Chains A and B, each alone.
Chain A
């Protein structure tokens, strides 16, 4: 139990917050800061609500979300544009992993 608790970064407070948001049907991205990833085929990805860029090469782009890192893997990846809130990635996307 302890180990599991350590692994989970969520505090009991966040868990209750999640519960409230869930029951009140509030938008999760604004309330919980969850990232929204929209992928069109395997050539385009649109990410909202991310926190920052951790790694940027043609093979992988790693973004920091609030609760998890989002890792795009593929080839010829590039950032078309990005602002504080959203970002567009294009290139051949092979995998999307949450670390």
Chain B
């Protein structure tokens, strides 16, 4: 307690030497000058004295023929005056505390756990829609409502737990392991779906599982033609249509069509030859504006520029709109060259193979192909005619014109 009072009021450690230190001590006592922790070091005495006492000491020193020197200053008054010289530091300290208090009122990170089928991006977008995002105020978050909304909007989610831990929003969800059947799409298909050709061509193969086939093998069809109708007629006894039953058309159909292709390749070409000379320029900036830390011009006539940038990241999910990185400028020279015959052949064949492989990936089969290569002084041309087979069909809702004819016919039958 006493130490605290001494600290708050401040004190000075002094060294006293001279004719009669004892007399000085007596005088101090008589003049109510507070002195403590007096130690004898032979030649001199050290003691602690209050600040007010130190100022009252001067006449006493003169009277007793002793001298005093300050060895150290302790206590709050000295600390404050020391800090007063470092105003910016103190302001920074308080600013920092203030900033932390302020920043801890916001959510700085959102973590989602337990999601398998629903990806984090989907959930993050959903949260954004709900007004839950990083750098939002904690007080603006209704945890109970968010939990409920998540369960309501996603059938897949069976259990939710939203927690605020510090400045992190933890969202635990449990997904339903049982498959969820969406009934909304089914309801639409009840109206009936047609299979429609997506390309012009010839039907080479058709097997219908449901619906009414409108084309047969060998028929030519145009894009947009209905191949299998989703409206199955129910006939009256007199073979007039009583009504239509709507189903989702399902059939294996292959359309065959021809396709011409021509690839050109020039014999002469320019090649980029990197000279190996390059400059690395550090860059920094926001998303749109950038500063390159180089003020001289790039000394190359032809050059490629590539950039590698990183975004400043504060936390796992919190990125600042600041980027930094480097820009590499590589010099190159343009050299004119000509392909050899062998090279030309492989170049064209490689391009053609790539086209075929992409067709294969799409599920297109090649029934026939006829490839010719025309050679010329300047360029080679590869021409190909291919007969392709593809199940180029898509489902479209059945046109609902039938009920009109349906009712007309009914009326006719009635009038008859």
A interface residues (Cβ-Cβ under 8 A, vs B): 52-58, 77-84
Contact = CB atoms under 8 A, between A and B. Distances in A.
A28 to B, nearest CB: 22
Contacts of B35: 81-82
B29 A82 contact: yes
B40 A58 contact: yes
A81 B36 contact: yes
B32 A84 contact: yes
B66 to A, nearest CB: 12
Q: Which 8 A-B pairs have the closest CB atoms?
A: A81-B36, A52-B26, A79-B38, A58-B40, A53-B22, A53-B25, A78-B39, A84-B29
B162 interface: no
Taking each of B25, B32, B40, B42, which has the highest tally of chain A beta carbons within 10 Å of its own beta carbon? B40
B40 A80 contact: no
Interface of B: 21-22, 25-26, 29-30, 32, 34-40, 42, 45
Given A79-B25, A79-B36, 12 more contacts: A53-B29, A56-B21, A56-B22, A56-B45, A57-B40, A58-B40, A78-B40, A80-B36, A80-B37, A81-B35, A82-B29, A83-B29
A64 to B, nearest CB: 8
B29 A78 contact: no
A53 B40 contact: no
Contacts of A55: 22
10 contacts: A52-B22, A53-B29, A56-B21, A56-B38, A78-B39, A79-B37, A81-B35, A82-B25, A83-B29, A84-B29
A78 B38 contact: yes
B114 to A, nearest CB: 67
A58 B38 CA distance: 10
A78 B40 CA distance: 7
**Interface of chain B, helix or strand or loop or mixed?**
mixed
B29 A52 contact: yes
Contacts of A53: 22, 25-26, 29
Nearest to A50: B29
A1 B29 CA distance: 39
Contacts of B36: 79-82
A54 B23 CA distance: 7
Contacts of B32: 83-84
Nearest to A85: B29
Contacts of A80: 36-38
B406 to A, nearest CB: 115
A78 B26 CA distance: 15
B24 to A, nearest CB: 9
B19 to A, nearest CB: 13
B262 to A, nearest CB: 108
Contacts of B21: 56
Nearest to B29: A84
Contacts of B40: 56-58, 77-78
A75 to B, nearest CB: 11
Nearest to B48: A81
B64 to A, nearest CB: 12
Contacts of A82: 25, 29, 35-36, 38
Contacts of B45: 56
A81 B3 CA distance: 13
A91 to B, nearest CB: 10
A84 B29 CA distance: 5
Contacts of A78: 37-40
Contacts of A77: 40
B108 to A, nearest CB: 54
A93 to B, nearest CB: 15
B135 to A, nearest CB: 58
A53 B26 CA distance: 6
Contacts of A83: 29, 32, 34
B25 A56 contact: yes
A84 B27 CA distance: 9
A78 B42 CA distance: 12
Contacts of B25: 53, 56, 79, 82
